[in-house]
Amino acid sequence: MKAALFCTSRYIGATPEGVWPLPAKYCEPETAARSMETTLEQFRLADQFGFDWVTVAEHHFSALSMTPNPMIFAGALSQVVKRAKIAVLGPTLPILNPVRVAEEFAMLDTMTGGRIVAGMMRGTPNEYVTYNFNPSESRARFAEALEIIRRAWTEPEPFGWQGRYYQYRSISIWPRPVQKPHPPIYMSGSSPEAGEFAARNRLGLGFAFTTIGEAAKAAAYFRAQAREAGWEPKPDDVIYRVGFHVAPSDDEAFADMSRTAPRVALTNSNAAISAAIVESSYYGRDAAQATRTATRTLQDRIEAGQILVGSPETIVRQIARIKSEIGAGILDCPLAAQLGERTLRSIELFGTEVLPRIREL
């Protein structure tokens, strides 16, 4: 198995929990800068200790994630992370200009000598408020935007686009991506629609904010759909996102985690938005998605496979379960806590004690 370190560049100062959008008045610029420097250091350590990928993602209006444009952060990472692949998982495609996304990915691929992994996301539902898009149109926008990006990466001549949601009269991006025909593409989603789309379009598929049981079902469905489409996904075509905190002992790891606040999903942090999203067709045939993001106790999250907590031995056992039930080849591991030196130690322990033992899983 491979592992990615995912840091959201969380604000390390005090802010109210469970509020979205979080009022900007709580943001102290010096603390924000320090938070970003801390994240860069965490990624540098991950590169040093053998993580295969480092991951950034797009979220808006929140102290949980200060990378509203993850491409900018990935640009900074290209100068810090020298070995690991840089996974942008990813831009929230339906609310962005797809030509711009294609250009930025191509820039990053050039700056990293072809180490970019291109996640194409629909994003968390609250993101649709950010730039004022209709979440009901998200799947159709996503499909069209992705096709534009693939064309932009591969067409050798200028071309225009007459779409349903996008219109361009001339596209010819510079630079072109280093990887041929283009960087590997992943999307995310546990819904049947996501599995079908990824299979049809030969994309990797990632699972986040779900449980091992649900992800196992969704991964099996994705593989079945892919076989129907004439291809067989490899383990690396499946990503499972799971938080982690490693300490020398289980007790120490749990004690560390008891000092952290429960994580509240961004959409669930605003009742009106949450209700409006349910009314829209955003969740498609996966209506249970709305409830899977409900706040759970730490123990519940461990049992559900949403977080890895414990000693290296315990963590390896938890990962083995993920591998055997889901078949994922890549673990995308968000830091479960921002605990200063203990978080840095967790990264080191994962890299030195866990990673070597999950390679052969």
Partner 1 sequence: MSTEPQMGATSTTDEAVLWLAAKDSAAALKRLVAAQYRVVECEAHETASLVRAMEEASARFGATPISLVAEGADAVPALLLALDEPQRVASIILLAPQIFDADGKALSAASETVAARLSAIETPVLALFGTKARAAPPEAARYYRARNPRCHLIFVYDAGEKMAEERPEAVAELVADFVQRRDRFLVRQHEDRLYR
The count of C-alpha atoms lying within 13 angstroms of the C-alpha of 291, restricted to the half-sphere facing its C-beta, is 4
Using the contact rule CB under 8 A, the part of the chain among 5-13, 161-169, 235-243, 319-327 near partner 1 is: 161-169
Site for partner 1 in 331-350 (CB under 8 A): none
Task: At 344, list the tokens.
Answer: 């840095």
Give least dist CB 156 to partner 1, A. 6
Closer residue to partner 1 in complex, CB, 25/169: 169
Q: Is residue 193 near partner 1 by the rule CB under 8 A?
A: no
Q: Is residue 250 near partner 1 by the rule CB under 8 A?
A: no
- Residue pair 144/167 in contact (Cβ under 8 Å)? The answer is no
Task: At 203, list the tokens.
Answer: 């994309």
Q: Which of 28, 137, 147, 348 binds partner 1 (CB under 8 A)?
A: 147
Q: Which of 16, 23, 113, 158 binds partner 1 (CB under 8 A)?
A: 158
Q: Is residue 230 near partner 1 by the rule CB under 8 A?
A: no
Using the contact rule CB under 8 A, the part of the chain among 29-37, 151-159, 202-210, 267-275 near partner 1 is: 151-159
Q: Is residue 161 near partner 1 by the rule CB under 8 A?
A: yes
Give least dist CB 164 to partner 1, A. 6
List strand residue ranges (DSSP E) for 43-133, in order.
53-56, 85-88, 116-120
Cα 79-85-89 angle, rounded to 5 deg: 100
Classified as helix, coil or strand, 307 is strand
Q: Is residue 296 near partner 1 by the rule CB under 8 A?
A: no
Q: Is residue 132 near partner 1 by the rule CB under 8 A?
A: no
Give the phi and the psi of residue 312 in degrees, each rounded to 5.
-55, -40
Closer residue to partner 1 in complex, CB, 164/285: 164
Closer residue to partner 1 in complex, CB, 165/254: 165
Burial class (CB in 10 A: 0-12, 13-18, 19+), 294: exposed
Closer residue to partner 1 in complex, CB, 157/360: 157
Q: Is residue 181 near partner 1 by the rule CB under 8 A?
A: no
Q: Which of 17, 37, 155, 303 binds partner 1 (CB under 8 A)?
A: 155
* Residue 61 DSSP code: S
Closer residue to partner 1 in complex, CB, 26/166: 166
Among residues 330, 328, 339, 327, the alpha carbon closest in space to that of 245 is found at: 339
Give least dist CB 204 to partner 1, A. 22
Task: At 65, list the tokens.
Answer: 């994630």
d(CA 45, CA 163): 44
Give least dist CB 95 to partner 1, A. 17
Q: Is residue 160 near partner 1 by the rule CB under 8 A?
A: yes
Task: At 198, list the tokens.
Answer: 């990824």
Using the contact rule CB under 8 A, the part of the chain among 45-53, 153-161, 219-227, 292-300 near partner 1 is: 153-161
Q: Is residue 297 near partner 1 by the rule CB under 8 A?
A: no
CA 195 to chain centre: 17
Q: Which of 25, 30, 156, 261 binds partner 1 (CB under 8 A)?
A: 156
* Residue 353 DSSP code: I
Give least dist CB 285 to partner 1, A. 21
d(CA 14, CA 345): 23
Give least dist CB 170 to partner 1, A. 6
Q: Is residue 163 near partner 1 by the rule CB under 8 A?
A: yes
With tokens 């692949």, the residue in question is 85
Q: Which of 24, 170, 291, 341 binds partner 1 (CB under 8 A)?
A: 170
The CA–CA distances, whole Å, from 96 to 18, 204, 228, 298 equal: 26, 21, 31, 35
Task: At 158, list the tokens.
Answer: 């200028």
- Residue pair 285/196 in contact (Cβ under 8 Å)? The answer is no
Q: Which residues bind partner 1 (CB under 8 A)?
A: 144, 147, 151, 155-164, 166, 169-170
